[in-house]
Amino acid sequence: MNVLVVYAHPNPKSFNHAVLESFTKGLKDGGHTFDVVDLYAEKFNPSIQLEDFGQFAGKPMPKEVQKQQERLANAEALVFISPALGWFIPAILEGWVQRVFSFGFAWKADQTGMIGLLTQKKGLYIFTTGNPETYYQATGLGGSMKNILGMSLTESGIKEVDFLFLYSVAAVDDATRTNYLKQVYQKGKEF
């Protein structure tokens, strides 16, 4: 399977980067091919531009968005790797989704509502968090993130969406972090 991995963390020495490396090693060892979009390294502009609204008038999207759309169109699956910041995702990742999942590329509308145009078989979010799992359960935050973020993919046509939360990464011991990296590697290998 050809997988597009969208990575959103500015520090190449972060635990998130270790997650990226473990996951892509798993993909490789599982016989998959992949393309990594490193949003910070590529300096992707997450802000909606005036030209982005041309999509509703049949005009082309800006070149940087078209390039990302081509990469997504060539993928059979889409994976996001990022920290969960506060109650949501990094702005650069949210901006990527808003700009790349544009009208006419990811969705269209008719009188019955939104119709997804993406054909990827799978979507996966891998999040590192600062809080423990109990916090995400007690507050309902984990479920809310799954609903909102999952819907952004399924409503765009992606068939199956999964989530992997790596909880309390700053507070856990090295053994737990090593276990997280093993989980991520296995997820990539079996993807």
pTM, full prediction = 0.95
Q: Is the pLDDT of residue 179 over 90?
A: yes
Q: Which amino acid is at 160?
A: E
Cα(37)–Cα(66) distance, rounded to whole angstroms?
Answer: 14
> CATH number, domain at 159?
3.40.50.360
State the distance between the two ends of the chain, measured CA to CA, in whole angstroms.
Answer: 8
Domain containing residue 143: 2-189
Domain count, the chain: 1
pLDDT digits (tens, 9 = 90+) for 59-87: 999 999 999 999 999 999 999 999 998 77
pLDDT digits (tens, 9 = 90+) for 4-28: 999 999 999 999 999 999 999 999 9
For residue 18, the tally of other CB atoms under 10 A from its CB is 17
